[in-house]
Structure 1
Amino acid sequence: MNVELRYLRALVAVVDAETFTDAAIELGTSQAAVSRSIAALEQALGLRILQRTTRSFTPTPVGERIIAHARRVLDELALLERVAGDHGSELRVGYAWSALGRRTIALQRQWEELHPDVSLVWVQSNAPSGGLADGSADVAVRRRPLTEGRFTSTPIGAEARFAALAASDTLARRRVLRMADFAGRTIAVDRRTGTTSEELWPEESRPAGFRPVQGVDEWLTLISTGQALGMSSEATAAQNPRPGVAYRPVRDAPPIEVFLACWRDDPSPLVADFIRLARAAYLPG
């Protein structure tokens, strides 16, 4: 039997992401490569793990047990890597769209004073876990909590919502916008890692439509070309300037809560220090 770790990573990613396409994005590979890994795992074990249809899949009864074991194997491997990392020279902070916005540089300097021998490394990740699940991050900046039991999410503060629109849009002439200004417009939405959903608007001011995107770069390109408006956190506005894009605060939009996520079963002193500094960075004044 020849079972490779990449087979297990592909299996867990597919189950968590619920589609082969999203699993490929999380793993940074192609959909075909993910499919090949699942097929190779089934061949190595000599049984069917996922029952596929043209549009979806469901784990077989034995597949459910294999998935649970695969999670345990990958969790133990990640724990091994984190234990080794605690004796290393860096703390990796994952984020999807933006780190901590205007607070990032100040926090970086505070970290260097507190831990001069441990580098703080910011890692952009479009994975739902912010890089925790695949081991590319030790702690992840999240703007919604992770619901998986193996992770814990600590609230550290809140951010205002900003509209993003083409600089040529007539709305860009205003200093402040309201939720009703989005009525009748198309909104670019990243359902995997973004902070905006259809439910944000009341029925009377609901936008005309929502256009799905994957990641901040596609979001900004769509907005700069005038094909859609966007809504995101103040950190996105601070950290992602783009020619042709104007950011405006949305006065009556609910704030976005910011979380730091980490592994539940492996409290790290470095992660604890980072959470403490980040929480202090969000205190008023």
Structure 2
Amino acid sequence: MNEGPVSGRPVELRHLRAFLAVADELNITRAAARLRLTQPAVSRTLAALEAHLGVRLVDRSTHHLALTPAGVAFRDRAAVAVAAFDEAVGPGRPGPRPLRLGHAWSAFGPYTTPLLRAWQERYPGTPLELLRIDDRTAGLTRGEVDAALLRGPVEAPGLVTEVLYTEVRVAAVTADGPLARRESLALADLAGGPVVLNPVSGTTTVELWPPHTRPTATLTVGNTDDWLTAIAAGRGSGVSTTSTAVLYPHAGVAYVPLDDAPGVPVLLARRDAPGHPALPRLAALAREIIARGALH
């Protein structure tokens, strides 16, 4: 069925879901596969939404799709709307609606297992799903999760964040390299060779180094797995937190303390809108788990 401009017709939920899939994938073909639709159907749906709004949401002028400034702003509003709809129809679904907790890497650090076990014991009627999503907000702004565990400052509109604790940074170096034999390192020790950065979901940028000692070269990757692989292969070193050292051990990577790097705050984030009814219980339990760990 042809889908032209939706003048006179309301925007439907499928228009928003199609746009969010495109905004996530930045590729019509992958968005269509995710939605189980044809590529032309997704293109028509997106065009219809843009026609209704009277703005261009996606820039198609380059080889790779990109969101326009209007598209970036609309993505957050669309994600909130879709999440609100899912919340509204949730009680009518068979079985309890799970509480989806996103993270880009390292989850809740050393508190991950205690949190999951305590939740299962106390609230068995509400499943807690831990989802790794390689995105700066772990899918929160796109409505894929109800809350997210994030690291470092997050500049995204429409989010409410709470600092739960702070993690210490460590250096990640090639296991058989000379830096791995050091008891501790400074940021300047890493600047002489390439530094592996993950701008998609990581917290390390070249601004972590003082201007006069910034890395001479960088290598960009898209997720934690590729970051580890690059370091293990001797293509560079990296900076992360102690949780990464605990949760992502790698035979080719050695984690060494960093003497002069500031800590990284771990945040519990949610959208600034009515959300899953179990969110207050999640926040309270997270605080309790941290306090309990600090006492031991």
Say whether the fold is shared (TM-score over 0.5): yes
> Once the two structures are superposed, what CA deviation does each residue of 1:175-229 show, in whole Å capped at 9, x if it has no partner?
2222121121111111121010010001233221111100001101001111110
Could you tell me whether the CA contact under 8 Å between 2:187 and 2:261 is conserved in 1? yes
Q: Which amino acid aligns with 2:84?
A: L
RMSD: 3.6
In 2 relative to 1, CA 271–26 (structure 1 residues): closer, same or farther, beyond 3 Å?
farther
SS at match of 1:218: helix
Pick from 190, 194, 214 the counterpart of residue 186 of structure 1.
194
Could you tell me whether the CA contact under 8 Å between 1:152 and 1:263 is conserved in 2? yes
35-44 vs 89-98, greater mean Cα deviation:
35-44
Mapping of residues 30-179 of structure 1, within 5 Å: 37-38=42-43, 40-42=45-47, 45=51, 49=56, 50=58, 52-54=60-62, 59=68, 64=70, 72=77, 74-85=79-90, 88-179=96-187
**Alpha-carbon distance, 1:158 to partner:** 0.5
**Alpha-carbon distance, 1:267 to partner:** 4.7
State how far apart, in whole Å, the 2-side matches of 1:232 and 1:114 are: 33
In 2 relative to 1, CA 158–40 (structure 1 residues): closer, same or farther, beyond 3 Å?
same
258-267 vs 128-137, greater mean Cα deviation:
128-137
Unpaired runs of 5+ residues, structure 2, are: 5-10
State how far apart, in whole Å, the 2-side matches of 1:280 and 1:242 are: 31
Q: Which amino acid aligns with 1:189?
A: L
Q: Which amino acid aligns with 1:241?
A: P
> Once the two structures are superposed, what CA deviation does each residue of 1:143-196 show, in whole Å capped at 9, x if it has no partner?
134433322111111000011111101111122222121121111111121010
In 2 relative to 1, CA 175–280 (structure 1 residues): closer, same or farther, beyond 3 Å?
farther
SS at match of 2:141: coil
88-97 vs 1-10, greater mean Cα deviation:
1-10
SS at match of 2:119: helix
Q: Which amino acid aligns with 1:211?
A: L
Could you tell me whether the CA contact under 8 Å between 1:153 and 1:259 is conserved in 2? yes
Q: What's the TM-score, normalizing by structure 1?
A: 0.80
Could you tell me whether the CA contact under 8 Å between 2:164 and 2:266 is conserved in 1? yes
**1:274 matched to 2:279:** no
**Alpha-carbon distance, 1:12 to partner:** 4.9
Q: Which amino acid aligns with 2:236?
A: A
State how far apart, in whole Å, the 1-side matches of 2:252 and 2:68 are: 46
**Alpha-carbon distance, 1:36 to partner:** 7.7
**Alpha-carbon distance, 1:254 to partner:** 0.1
Could you tell me whether the CA contact under 8 Å between 2:119 and 2:128 is conserved in 1? yes
In 2 relative to 1, CA 111–188 (structure 1 residues): closer, same or farther, beyond 3 Å?
same
Could you tell me whether the CA contact under 8 Å between 1:12 and 1:71 is conserved in 2? no
SS at match of 2:278: helix
Unpaired runs of 5+ residues, structure 1, are: none
Aligned length: 276
Could you tell me whether the CA contact under 8 Å between 1:93 and 1:140 is conserved in 2? yes
In 2 relative to 1, CA 180–59 (structure 1 residues): closer, same or farther, beyond 3 Å?
closer
Could you tell me whether the CA contact under 8 Å between 1:7 and 1:38 is conserved in 2? no
44-53 vs 205-214, greater mean Cα deviation:
44-53
State how far apart, in whole Å, the 1-side matches of 2:235 and 2:189 are: 16
Give me the identity figure in percent.
Answer: 32
Could you tell me whether the CA contact under 8 Å between 1:167 and 1:245 is conserved in 2? yes
